[in-house]
Structure 1
Amino acid sequence: MVGFRFNKFIFLIIIVLLFWCSHMETCKAGRVGKHWRHSPNTAFASLYKKKGIKQGPYHHNGKSGKWPHKPHSPKPQPPVPPPPALSPPPQLVPPPAIVPPPPASPPSAAPPALSPPSCTPIESPPNISPPPKKGENALGSTVYDVVDFGAKGDGTSDDTKAFVAAWAAACKVEASVINVPADYVFLVGPISFSGPYCQHNIVFQLDGKIVAPTRPSAWGSGLLQWLEFTKLVGITIKGSGIIDGNGAAWWQYSPLEDDQSRLIIPINGTLEQNHPPPQWISSSLGSKMPSIKPTALRFYGSFNVTVTGITIQNSPQCHLKFDNCMGVAVYNFSVSSPGDSPNTDGIHLQNSKEVLIRSSNIGCGDDCVSIQTGCTNIYVHNIKCGPGHGISIGGLGKDNTKACVSNVTVRDVILQNTMNGVRIKTWQGGLGSVQGVQFSNIQVSEVQLPIVIDQYYCDKRSCKNQTTAVALSGINYENISGTYTVKPMHFACSDILPCTDVTLTDIQLKPQQERYHMYDPYCWQTFGKLLTPTVPPVECLLVGKPLSSRILGDEDSC
């Protein structure tokens, strides 16, 4: 009896040992699945070895070079089954619920919520940029379209407020773009697009048409400009659009100021025959426009200004003006107004420096390019001028003021049917100086006076003689050719302060032989030299320096 109990006790011990061993294998398999879901490699093993960390169940037998299991295998090593003869009773088999998951579940077995399909990036086709987002252009700049701010663009509705709102938004964003779209006509009243707190490098993209109102009430008692950009850095106006000043509503009340009848004498003492009178249009409601005429587009106190591609037409007065600006570029630009539209300068510069004007076509009723006091380092080339009064420096020194202009180059210019070619004009009584001026490669066709220096400039029938003048020196004319209708050149310098260092090289000017008498070259108190023979011969130029002239004082220095 005692032996039977002993044998039964031994049998139970064996059953417990087998059950314990089976449970230990299952636990080891669970630890493998928990700690080695990714395939192990020697780098991980060496990392553990360097850190002195115990390497877990794979080295429990001291044989670090062998792996008892392959954790990267998709099927785990099954537990060791007990011998058939010693199988435990069915009631001792552990329930399936406690069996751990397979030890090496692949990553795809993870729940779908951990990798939703919407997070998968979508690749764009190679070399194809995604389309610009709404409110951005292809370069990523923020775009503010005036239509989005309420502009109608029908040519009759007042769109001024929409332009003001678009500017207010663009002003806050660097390198933003105000878009004036094509195929619209925007009626816009006087606006000042002003800084100085606006961000830099704003672009005004003009592809549509902007027209000025012809209602006198829109202008109050009179304004000096219609569209104005002030105190900005890096401002650009570009596009294929048009700015139309509706100037005919103003011109009928404006006298012609640049009167050169004293220099131009027709054969019969009258104006040209067969010249059609200007076709004026009335302002809205038949009312008279203010006496002060606005410039169409003005820039004031700005740096790095660019105007390109656009056309300005029919301005009441100047078309494009730069005042107190530095770093100006104008190119591929057009001005279009009738030749008899009064005082409608194409491009007007004043107190501006580092200016480049090139590759443009200008037709107007006054100077194609007008360079006023305070200008230096001005470069004008590849310009077609006509109709108009030519390219002028001045008038300078009006009302006994001081004027300073220096380092001006005008070259590769075509002038056709203009009053003057290249001209310097100063008022009597002025102070200051003009120096360092180069006119070269100038082609004239049917120009009344191709070369002019006039220190007795007067926009009235008579002006008072005065004893001071703006000093002129270092004026060079080179390679100027073509046809004239009145006089090839007119040099009228001051008695008190004659012109000095005037040079002529390769001058070839021939008469057109039309309605006017042909006059010989005229010189008065002009000192300089001929570097080559001229056509026609210039015999009036004085050689050397003036024997006596007014001594320049501090008030004359620039």
Structure 2
Amino acid sequence: MGILHTLSLLFITTPLLLLLLEENVSNVEARDHHHFGKKQKIKNSPKLSPAYSPAPAPSPRYPPSIPSDPSYGPTPTDYNSTRNCIFDVTDFGAIGDGATDDTAAFRSAWKAACQVENGVVFAPSDLVFMITSTIFSGPCQPGLVLQVDGVLMPPDGPDCWPKSDSNKQWLVFYRLDDMTLTGTGTIEGNGQKWWDLPCKPHRGPNGSTLPGPCDSPALIRFFMSSNLVVSGLRIQNSPQFHMKFDGCQGVLIDKLSISSPKLSPNTDGIHIENTKSVGIYNSVIGNGDDCISIGTGCSDVDIEAVTCGPSHGISIGSLGVQHSHACVSNITVRNAFIRDSDNGLRIKTWQGGTGSVTGISFENIQMENVRNCVIIDQYYCLTKACRNETSAVYLSDVTYRNIKGTYDVRSPPIHFACSDTVACTNITMSEVELLPYEGVLVDDPFCWNAYGLQETLTIPPIDCLQDGMPLSLAENSSYAC
């Protein structure tokens, strides 16, 4: 009876679980606070000392709850040396011709590998496997690996998507502990036909956007899982988010390549929410939305040696939507390169939310042709009709250190738009040098209700940052997390 009960947990396909796992993450656009200062013609920008020269990160010291070496885990050679633990999907009937539905073979291989320690579900190279929306669930024996050396892809667009499958997610990994997703292959999202839906931004007739709903599947989702490693793969052309982590603890991401076109809508590279102890290292991400987006409930996140762009930058938020309570703490981004992006380092919250964002550090960041290089926007809004609210997510202890490079002159490179009633406090600026990529110098950053310290003079000067602390800021239980 116990074995049957365990097997029944492996592939839960009841409507209740599908409802639990599905979520609709909508992309929203910010309401900009335009504030342009004096402009000065320049001919040649001085050469800046580099903030960061891209190079592999050292073995990260963090997070402690998962292996600390980015090259953690057996190599493909190691897997091949333990043949009795390898479950090749072709042995379970997978064809790998890119047209045949290989879902059943992957499910069968997963069931078998789940029952043994250090089991490996193996998708060999030189084959293209098409599978439909699937939940790979646990609990499983420790050390389970899904190794993709070939190509793994979903059906080609919404017309080919099975009507009975969720159109909000493709591969879901659920209730797993000590699991690795790795390989030398590619996970191809076939996103083009989803991006072209007329309900996507500016995809309808004459550049319009038709009413939705406009659900599109996230490519890979880890849900309620722990001690995860994702490494080595190329992940591209997702219909929506490329990779999501929700309700997880202990995540190591290393040496990933994530890519989709610059104008592909809602294609965040890595999105995390309600997830703690995360390390993201040595990866290259270019897409049509945020390279990395950090949602509510995240803490102890370390991001290092990431190249980002074209994209919408690295974002914390949006937070506090529909008066929700949002908590984010202890986020570090260092030794990163952001290029050709709409935003650089962004924190975005809605009016009316509660909670706090604290302990944020951006260090050794190189920018190239980035609009809104450094931005805090506490007036994030879906439409222009958002009402003014008196409550807000409290932002404090945010450090920008050694941020250098060039900006797109359509917006000031530094933009701190904090809540009217809940000021941003303890912002620290040190060695921030931002010059125009081309055109004229915007030498007047924008600040509203922002308090902090300049340890060094910034380029351009940021005289609008207020000293000390606001008199009106008092203890408030709505900030507690």
Give the TM-score range, shorter chain. Answer: 0.7 to 0.9
Q: Which runs of 5+ in 2 are unaligned?
A: 1-78, 204-210
Q: Name the SS of the counterpart of 2:341 in structure 1.
A: coil
Tell me which residue corresponds to 1:190.
Answer: 133
Which residue in the other structure is 2:463 paired with? 539
Following the alignment from structure 1 to structure 2, what is the Cα–Cα distance between the partners of residues 172 and 327?
Answer: 23
Matched residue type, 1:362: I
In structure 1, the residue matched to 2:392 is 469
User: 2:124 maps to what in 1?
Assistant: 181
Within 5 A, what are the aligned runs for 1:1-400? 137-139=80-82, 142-196=85-139, 198-213=140-155, 214=157, 215-220=159-164, 222-253=166-197, 291-400=214-323
In structure 1, give the amino acid aligned to 2:453: K
* Contact 1:222/1:291 (<8 A) preserved: no
Out of 504, 522, 528, the position equivalent to 2:446 is 522
The answer to whether the 8 Å contact 1:141/1:175 transfers is no
Task: Please identify runs of 4+ aligned residues in structure 1 that moved more than 2 A.
Answer: 214-217, 219-224, 253-257, 288-291, 459-462, 516-520
The match for 1:504 is 429
Q: Is 1:492 the equivalent of 2:417? A: yes
What SS is found at the alignment partner of 2:344? Answer: strand
Name whichever structure is richer in helix by fraction: 1
Matched letter for residue 300 of structure 1: F
Q: State the SS of the aligned residue for 2:177.
A: coil
Worse-matched range after superposition: 314-323 or 207-216: 207-216
8 A contact 1:254–1:342 mirrored in 2 = no
In the alignment, is the contact (CA less than 8 A) between 2:343 and 2:372 conserved in 1?
yes
Number of aligned positions between the proteins: 394
User: What is the CA-CA distance between 1:446 and the residue it aligns to?
Assistant: 0.2
Match of 2:14 in 1: none
- AA aligned opposite 1:422: L
CA distance in 1, matches of 2:382, 2:112: 45
Structure with the bigger RCO (C-alpha within 8 Å, sep 6+) is: 2
Deviation at residue 461 of structure 1 after TM alignment: 3.5
Judge conservation of contact 2:443–2:461 (CA < 8 Å) in 1: no
* 2:311 alignment partner, SS class: coil
Give the structure with the higher percent strand.
2
Task: Quote how far apart the aligned CAs of 1:219 are.
Answer: 4.8
Q: Identity of aligned pairs, percent?
A: 47
CA displacement at 1:253 relative to structure 2? 2.3
- Tell me, yes or no, if the aligned pair for 1:497 and 1:550 is still in contact at 8 Å: no
SS of 1:218's equivalent in the other structure is coil
Shift in Å, 1:550 = 6.1
Give the residue type in structure 1 aligned to 2:456.
Answer: T
Per the normalisation by structure 2, the TM-score is 0.79
C-alpha RMSD over aligned residues: 2.2
Residue aligned with 2:396, SS: strand
What do the CA deviations read for 1:240-296 (whole angstroms, capped 9, x no partner)?
Answer: 111111111111226667xxxxxxxxxxxxxxxxxxx99xxxxxxxxx998211110
Counterparts of 2:212 and 2:239, CA distance in 1: 10
Q: 3-state DSSP class of the match of 1:228?
A: strand
Question: Per-residue CA shift, 1:355-395, capped at 9, x if unaligned?
Answer: 00000000011110001111110000000000100001000
Over 3 Å counting, the alpha-carbon distance change for 1:219 and 1:544 in structure 2 is farther
The structure with the largest alpha-carbon Rg is 1
Q: Secondary structure at the match of 2:380?
A: coil
> What amino acid maps onto 2:445 in structure 1?
P
* 2: CA distance, partners of 1:201 / 1:387: 35
Aligned to 2:107, what secondary structure does the other structure show? helix
Q: Is the 8 A contact 1:329 1:356 kept in 2?
A: yes
Q: Tell me what 2:405 maps to.
A: 482
CA apart distance, 1:423: 0.7
